Chains A and B, each alone.
Chain A
Amino acid sequence: MSVPPGHLFALAALLFAIGLAGFFLRRNVIVVLMCIELMLNAANLTFLAASRMHTLENGGRPDLQGPIFAIFVIVVAAVEAAVGLALVIALYRNKQTVSLDDVADLKD
Protein backbone atom coordinates (compact mmCIF):
# COMPACT_ATOMS: atom_id res chain seq x y z
CA MET A 1 0.00 0.00 0.00
CA SER A 2 1.45 3.36 -0.99
CA VAL A 3 -1.18 5.66 0.43
CA PRO A 4 0.37 8.92 1.67
CA PRO A 5 0.44 9.18 5.50
CA GLY A 6 -1.69 12.30 5.37
CA HIS A 7 -4.69 10.35 4.15
CA LEU A 8 -4.53 8.05 7.16
CA PHE A 9 -4.38 11.06 9.47
CA ALA A 10 -7.28 12.68 7.63
CA LEU A 11 -9.36 9.53 8.01
CA ALA A 12 -8.61 9.58 11.75
CA ALA A 13 -9.68 13.24 11.95
CA LEU A 14 -12.93 12.45 10.16
CA LEU A 15 -13.63 9.51 12.48
CA PHE A 16 -12.97 11.68 15.53
CA ALA A 17 -15.24 14.46 14.28
CA ILE A 18 -18.09 12.00 13.66
CA GLY A 19 -17.63 10.53 17.14
CA LEU A 20 -17.59 13.98 18.71
CA ALA A 21 -20.76 15.06 16.92
CA GLY A 22 -22.51 11.87 17.99
CA PHE A 23 -21.31 12.30 21.57
CA PHE A 24 -23.01 15.67 21.86
CA LEU A 25 -26.08 15.01 19.72
CA ARG A 26 -27.34 11.67 20.92
CA ARG A 27 -29.34 11.29 24.11
CA ASN A 28 -29.12 7.54 24.60
CA VAL A 29 -26.34 6.67 27.07
CA ILE A 30 -25.40 3.50 25.22
CA VAL A 31 -24.99 5.31 21.91
CA VAL A 32 -22.95 8.00 23.66
CA LEU A 33 -20.60 5.29 24.94
CA MET A 34 -20.35 3.93 21.39
CA CYS A 35 -19.35 7.38 20.17
CA ILE A 36 -16.58 7.43 22.77
CA GLU A 37 -15.38 4.13 21.33
CA LEU A 38 -15.33 5.77 17.89
CA MET A 39 -13.16 8.60 19.17
CA LEU A 40 -10.76 6.16 20.87
CA ASN A 41 -10.48 4.32 17.58
CA ALA A 42 -9.60 7.56 15.84
CA ALA A 43 -6.80 8.03 18.39
CA ASN A 44 -5.62 4.49 17.69
CA LEU A 45 -5.57 5.11 13.97
CA THR A 46 -3.51 8.25 14.55
CA PHE A 47 -0.96 6.33 16.62
CA LEU A 48 -0.64 3.64 13.97
CA ALA A 49 -0.44 6.11 11.09
CA ALA A 50 2.37 7.96 12.88
CA SER A 51 4.15 4.69 13.56
CA ARG A 52 3.90 3.74 9.89
CA MET A 53 5.15 7.15 8.83
CA HIS A 54 8.18 6.92 11.12
CA THR A 55 8.89 3.37 10.01
CA LEU A 56 9.00 4.48 6.41
CA GLU A 57 11.13 7.49 7.27
CA ASN A 58 13.61 5.30 9.15
CA GLY A 59 14.09 3.13 6.08
CA GLY A 60 11.91 0.25 7.26
CA ARG A 61 13.10 -0.08 10.86
CA PRO A 62 9.90 -0.77 12.85
CA ASP A 63 8.73 2.00 15.14
CA LEU A 64 6.98 0.17 17.96
CA GLN A 65 5.87 3.12 20.04
CA GLY A 66 2.64 3.53 18.06
CA PRO A 67 1.44 -0.10 18.26
CA ILE A 68 2.21 -0.29 21.99
CA PHE A 69 0.28 2.87 22.74
CA ALA A 70 -2.55 1.56 20.57
CA ILE A 71 -2.66 -1.61 22.67
CA PHE A 72 -2.86 0.47 25.83
CA VAL A 73 -5.68 2.51 24.30
CA ILE A 74 -7.56 -0.69 23.49
CA VAL A 75 -7.21 -1.80 27.12
CA VAL A 76 -8.45 1.55 28.36
CA ALA A 77 -11.37 1.36 25.92
CA ALA A 78 -12.33 -2.04 27.30
CA VAL A 79 -12.13 -0.71 30.86
CA GLU A 80 -14.21 2.31 29.95
CA ALA A 81 -16.86 0.18 28.25
CA ALA A 82 -17.10 -2.14 31.26
CA VAL A 83 -17.47 0.64 33.81
CA GLY A 84 -19.75 2.68 31.57
CA LEU A 85 -22.11 -0.20 30.91
CA ALA A 86 -22.19 -1.11 34.61
CA LEU A 87 -23.21 2.50 35.25
CA VAL A 88 -25.91 2.21 32.58
CA ILE A 89 -27.31 -0.89 34.25
CA ALA A 90 -27.26 0.79 37.66
CA LEU A 91 -28.97 3.82 36.15
CA TYR A 92 -31.62 1.72 34.51
CA ARG A 93 -32.26 -0.16 37.72
CA ASN A 94 -32.76 3.04 39.69
CA LYS A 95 -34.56 5.26 37.18
CA GLN A 96 -35.86 2.93 34.43
CA THR A 97 -34.34 5.14 31.77
CA VAL A 98 -31.25 5.35 29.59
CA SER A 99 -31.94 8.81 28.26
CA LEU A 100 -29.55 11.54 29.32
CA ASP A 101 -32.40 14.05 29.41
CA ASP A 102 -33.90 12.26 32.41
CA VAL A 103 -30.74 12.26 34.53
CA ALA A 104 -29.87 15.96 34.52
CA ASP A 105 -30.10 16.17 38.32
CA LEU A 106 -26.67 17.74 38.72
CA LYS A 107 -27.52 20.43 36.19
CA ASP A 108 -30.48 21.86 38.09
Chain B
Amino acid sequence: MANLIFYVMAALVVVGALGVVVARNPMMSILSLLASFFALASIYLLAGFQTLAALQILVYAGAILVLFLFVIMLLNLADEKPLERIDMALFHERKTIWTLVVAGALLGIGAFTALELAPPAVAAGVQIPEHGIDDLQGLANAMFSRYLLSFEIISVLLLATAVAVVVLAKRNRGTPRLDQGGEST
Protein backbone atom coordinates (compact mmCIF):
# COMPACT_ATOMS: atom_id res chain seq x y z
CA MET B 1 0.00 0.00 0.00
CA ALA B 2 2.75 2.43 0.98
CA ASN B 3 4.58 1.44 -2.17
CA LEU B 4 1.54 2.29 -4.27
CA ILE B 5 1.27 5.70 -2.61
CA PHE B 6 4.97 6.26 -3.28
CA TYR B 7 4.62 5.61 -7.00
CA VAL B 8 1.49 7.77 -7.27
CA MET B 9 3.27 10.61 -5.48
CA ALA B 10 6.38 10.16 -7.59
CA ALA B 11 4.24 10.50 -10.70
CA LEU B 12 2.70 13.65 -9.21
CA VAL B 13 6.15 15.09 -8.52
CA VAL B 14 7.21 14.51 -12.11
CA VAL B 15 3.98 15.88 -13.58
CA GLY B 16 4.28 18.98 -11.40
CA ALA B 17 7.90 19.52 -12.43
CA LEU B 18 6.97 19.17 -16.09
CA GLY B 19 4.16 21.65 -15.52
CA VAL B 20 6.68 24.20 -14.24
CA VAL B 21 8.66 23.92 -17.44
CA VAL B 22 5.85 23.92 -19.97
CA ALA B 23 3.33 26.30 -18.39
CA ARG B 24 2.91 29.53 -20.34
CA ASN B 25 1.82 31.64 -17.41
CA PRO B 26 4.32 32.01 -14.51
CA MET B 27 1.40 31.77 -12.10
CA MET B 28 0.63 28.31 -13.40
CA SER B 29 4.30 27.43 -12.99
CA ILE B 30 4.14 28.43 -9.33
CA LEU B 31 1.02 26.39 -8.64
CA SER B 32 2.52 23.42 -10.43
CA LEU B 33 5.70 23.74 -8.38
CA LEU B 34 3.58 23.89 -5.23
CA ALA B 35 1.84 20.61 -6.12
CA SER B 36 5.21 19.04 -6.90
CA PHE B 37 6.67 20.12 -3.54
CA PHE B 38 3.69 18.81 -1.60
CA ALA B 39 3.99 15.44 -3.33
CA LEU B 40 7.72 15.46 -2.57
CA ALA B 41 6.98 16.15 1.10
CA SER B 42 4.71 13.10 1.18
CA ILE B 43 7.53 11.05 -0.31
CA TYR B 44 9.85 12.27 2.47
CA LEU B 45 7.19 11.23 4.94
CA LEU B 46 6.89 7.78 3.40
CA ALA B 47 10.66 7.35 3.41
CA GLY B 48 10.80 8.07 7.15
CA PHE B 49 11.80 11.74 7.28
CA GLN B 50 9.06 13.47 9.25
CA THR B 51 11.02 16.59 10.15
CA LEU B 52 12.22 17.14 6.61
CA ALA B 53 8.68 16.72 5.29
CA ALA B 54 7.48 19.40 7.69
CA LEU B 55 10.39 21.66 6.73
CA GLN B 56 9.67 21.11 3.07
CA ILE B 57 6.11 22.33 3.48
CA LEU B 58 6.90 25.12 5.95
CA VAL B 59 9.96 26.57 4.26
CA TYR B 60 9.46 25.73 0.60
CA ALA B 61 5.70 25.93 0.18
CA GLY B 62 5.18 28.40 2.99
CA ALA B 63 8.05 30.84 2.53
CA ILE B 64 9.92 30.48 -0.74
CA LEU B 65 6.97 29.94 -3.04
CA VAL B 66 5.04 32.75 -1.42
CA LEU B 67 8.04 34.98 -2.12
CA PHE B 68 7.88 33.96 -5.79
CA LEU B 69 4.14 34.59 -5.80
CA PHE B 70 4.66 38.05 -4.33
CA VAL B 71 7.14 39.00 -7.01
CA ILE B 72 4.94 37.74 -9.84
CA MET B 73 1.94 39.62 -8.53
CA LEU B 74 4.02 42.73 -7.90
CA LEU B 75 5.34 42.81 -11.44
CA ASN B 76 1.93 42.03 -12.89
CA LEU B 77 0.39 44.91 -10.99
CA ALA B 78 3.11 47.29 -12.05
CA ASP B 79 2.56 46.61 -15.72
CA GLU B 80 -0.15 44.91 -17.69
CA LYS B 81 2.25 43.68 -20.33
CA PRO B 82 2.54 39.87 -20.31
CA LEU B 83 5.51 38.59 -18.38
CA GLU B 84 6.93 36.44 -21.10
CA ARG B 85 6.59 36.04 -24.76
CA ILE B 86 6.78 32.40 -25.65
CA ASP B 87 7.78 31.85 -29.21
CA MET B 88 7.35 28.41 -30.62
CA ALA B 89 10.39 29.13 -32.76
CA LEU B 90 12.37 28.23 -29.63
CA PHE B 91 11.62 24.61 -30.31
CA HIS B 92 13.25 24.78 -33.70
CA GLU B 93 16.52 26.17 -32.42
CA ARG B 94 19.63 24.05 -32.14
CA LYS B 95 20.08 25.07 -28.51
CA THR B 96 16.83 23.37 -27.57
CA ILE B 97 17.93 20.09 -29.07
CA TRP B 98 21.28 20.25 -27.33
CA THR B 99 19.60 21.01 -24.02
CA LEU B 100 17.29 18.06 -24.37
CA VAL B 101 20.19 15.82 -25.36
CA VAL B 102 22.28 16.87 -22.34
CA ALA B 103 19.37 16.58 -19.94
CA GLY B 104 18.46 13.19 -21.39
CA ALA B 105 22.04 11.95 -21.14
CA LEU B 106 22.23 13.14 -17.54
CA LEU B 107 18.95 11.42 -16.79
CA GLY B 108 20.20 8.25 -18.44
CA ILE B 109 23.42 8.21 -16.42
CA GLY B 110 21.59 9.01 -13.21
CA ALA B 111 18.88 6.44 -13.71
CA PHE B 112 21.38 3.76 -14.78
CA THR B 113 23.56 4.41 -11.74
CA ALA B 114 20.56 4.43 -9.44
CA LEU B 115 18.91 1.31 -10.75
CA GLU B 116 22.03 -0.77 -11.40
CA LEU B 117 24.43 0.17 -8.62
CA ALA B 118 22.16 0.82 -5.67
CA PRO B 119 21.26 -2.27 -3.67
CA PRO B 120 18.26 -3.73 -5.46
CA ALA B 121 16.04 -4.32 -2.46
CA VAL B 122 15.73 -3.52 1.19
CA ALA B 123 17.25 -6.19 3.38
CA ALA B 124 14.53 -8.29 4.90
CA GLY B 125 13.65 -7.63 8.51
CA VAL B 126 15.42 -4.28 8.78
CA GLN B 127 13.01 -1.51 9.70
CA ILE B 128 13.18 2.24 9.73
CA PRO B 129 13.26 3.42 13.38
CA GLU B 130 9.83 4.00 14.85
CA HIS B 131 10.31 7.76 15.22
CA GLY B 132 11.66 8.14 11.71
CA ILE B 133 15.25 8.63 10.67
CA ASP B 134 15.40 12.32 11.45
CA ASP B 135 13.70 12.64 14.82
CA LEU B 136 14.19 16.13 16.19
CA GLN B 137 16.30 15.07 19.14
CA GLY B 138 18.87 13.23 17.09
CA LEU B 139 18.86 15.98 14.50
CA ALA B 140 19.46 18.66 17.11
CA ASN B 141 22.21 16.64 18.81
CA ALA B 142 24.05 16.27 15.52
CA MET B 143 23.41 19.84 14.40
CA PHE B 144 24.76 21.43 17.57
CA SER B 145 27.76 19.19 18.07
CA ARG B 146 29.33 17.78 14.95
CA TYR B 147 27.88 20.33 12.52
CA LEU B 148 28.06 23.36 14.80
CA LEU B 149 30.61 25.15 12.61
CA SER B 150 28.47 24.73 9.48
CA PHE B 151 25.49 25.96 11.45
CA GLU B 152 27.33 29.12 12.47
CA ILE B 153 28.62 29.72 8.96
CA ILE B 154 25.16 29.41 7.49
CA SER B 155 23.91 32.02 9.94
CA VAL B 156 26.55 34.38 8.57
CA LEU B 157 25.29 33.52 5.08
CA LEU B 158 21.76 34.46 6.10
CA LEU B 159 22.97 37.78 7.51
CA ALA B 160 24.89 38.54 4.31
CA THR B 161 21.76 37.71 2.31
CA ALA B 162 19.62 40.08 4.35
CA VAL B 163 22.12 42.89 3.74
CA ALA B 164 22.43 42.04 0.03
CA VAL B 165 18.66 42.00 -0.51
CA VAL B 166 18.26 45.38 1.16
CA VAL B 167 21.03 46.85 -0.98
CA LEU B 168 19.58 45.36 -4.17
CA ALA B 169 15.97 46.25 -3.54
CA LYS B 170 16.32 49.84 -2.40
CA ARG B 171 16.16 52.75 -4.84
CA ASN B 172 19.31 53.90 -6.53
CA ARG B 173 20.97 56.80 -4.76
CA GLY B 174 20.27 60.04 -6.55
CA THR B 175 17.12 59.05 -8.39
CA PRO B 176 14.30 61.34 -7.29
CA ARG B 177 11.27 59.88 -5.56
CA LEU B 178 8.20 59.81 -7.70
CA ASP B 179 6.06 61.65 -5.17
CA GLN B 180 8.43 64.61 -4.81
CA GLY B 181 7.35 66.12 -8.08
CA GLY B 182 9.53 67.15 -10.97
CA GLU B 183 11.37 70.13 -9.47
CA SER B 184 14.24 68.03 -8.15
CA THR B 185 15.34 66.87 -11.57
Contacts and interface: CB of A to CB of B under 8 A. Distances in A.
B20 A77 contact: no
Contacts of A83: 161, 164-165, 168
Interface in A1-38: 1-22, 24-28, 30-31, 33-35, 37-38
Interface in A56-71: 56-57, 59-60, 62-64, 66-68, 70-71
Contact of A60 (B14, B95, B126): B126
A52 B140 CA distance: 18
Interface centre among B36, B56, B99, B111 (most CB of A within 10 A): B111
B128 A60 contact: yes
Contact of B150 (A3, A44, A72): A72
Interface in B70-110: 71-72, 74-75, 78-79, 83-86, 90, 95-96, 99-100, 102-104, 106-107, 109-110
Q: How many A residues are at the interface, by size bracket?
A: 35 or more
Interface in B113-146: 113-123, 126-129, 133-135, 138-139, 142-143
Contacts of B64: 37, 77-78, 81
Nearest to B117: A6
A89 B71 contact: yes
Interface of A: 1-22, 24-28, 30-31, 33-35, 37-38, 41, 44-45, 48-49, 51-53, 55-57, 59-60, 62-64, 66-68, 70-72, 74-79, 81-83, 85-90, 92, 96, 98-99
Interface of B: 2-3, 5-7, 10, 13-14, 17-18, 20-21, 26, 29-30, 33, 36-37, 40, 43-44, 46-49, 51-52, 55-56, 59-60, 63-64, 67-68, 71-72, 74-75, 78-79, 83-86, 90, 95-96, 99-100, 102-104, 106-107, 109-111, 113-123, 126-129, 133-135, 138-139, 142-143, 147, 150, 154, 157-158, 161, 164-165, 168-169
Given A26-B84, A71-B55, 12 more contacts: A1-B2, A13-B110, A21-B100, A26-B21, A28-B83, A64-B133, A68-B139, A72-B150, A79-B157, A81-B64, A85-B67, A85-B71
